[in-house]
Structure formats: C-alpha cells, structure tokens
Amino acid sequence: MLEVGPLTAIPAGEGLRVDASPPIAVFHTDDGAVYAIDDTCTHQDASLADGWLEGCLVECPLHASCFDLRTGAVDQPPAKRPVRTHRVEVVDGVIFVELSTDAPNLPPGVTLGDPVHD
C-alpha cells in the first residue's frame, strides 16, 4: 500500500495530488470520507485534484466533466470514460492507498511514459 500521509494534511472538501504512475488524487469529503481516483481526467490532460469537490463528485477544472469518487463513473460530459478508483484505508490518522491493478483510462495523447505522469 502507498502511504499518502496524515489525514489532517487534506482539509475536508479538498483533494491532494499524489505522485504515482499515473498520478492519483486523494479527496477528503466534507462528511469525512476519503477516496482515491486517478488524477488525470479521461477527456483531456488535467489534474482532478485541482477540481471542485461537491459531495462525492469532483469536477474537472478544464472542461467541467464530473466523476463519482466512489465508482469513478462519469457523471457529466465531455468525458466519456471513467477514472480508476483505488482502495483507501485510514489507520491511526494516516491515509494508505492500494493502487488498482486495472489499466488506467488516460486521455488521448497521454501515456504512462510521459514525464508529467512519472
């Protein structure tokens, strides 16, 4: 499991980009839940950690696609493909993420070998 850091480092209602391949975003919702998804929008190369969080939905800062943090499903276009979700555990106030082994849905033109994603 990947140790992200203390839960207190992510204020409720915000997200944090975490270096992985590809990067992930960890969100701490207003109700105290913690979720992890791939950080890159599947529509175009944008960081979802920089997006807007409302409940269990994050809105991409680039073109307003929305993704469900619980399932990765697209809730609002222009994105058509979901993002991967990752299992999260909070142990003694520290966030741990088990990275999914499924293939990521990266946007067109972005590969795992891109310097931005390594």
Give the total number of structural domains in the chain: 1
β pairing state of 57-59 and 66-68: antiparallel
Query: Which residues span the domain enclosing 8?
Result: 2-98
The two three-digit tokens of residue 11, written as one number = 């204020």
| pLDDT value, residue 114 | 56
Domain assignment present for residue 109? The answer is no
Rounded distance between C-alpha atoms, residue 92 and residue 104, angstroms: 30
Q: Is residue 111 part of a domain?
A: no
Q: Report the distance separating Cα 18 and Cα 30, nearest Å.
A: 20
Query: Does residue 71 lie in a domain region?
Result: yes
pLDDT digits 0-9 by tens, 64-95: 999 999 999 999 889 999 999 999 999 999 99
User: What is the pTM (predicted TM-score) of this model?
Assistant: 0.90
Residue 85 belongs to domain with CATH number: 2.102.10.10
Whether 113 has a pLDDT exceeding 70, the answer reads no
User: Quick one: pLDDT at residue 117?
Assistant: 46
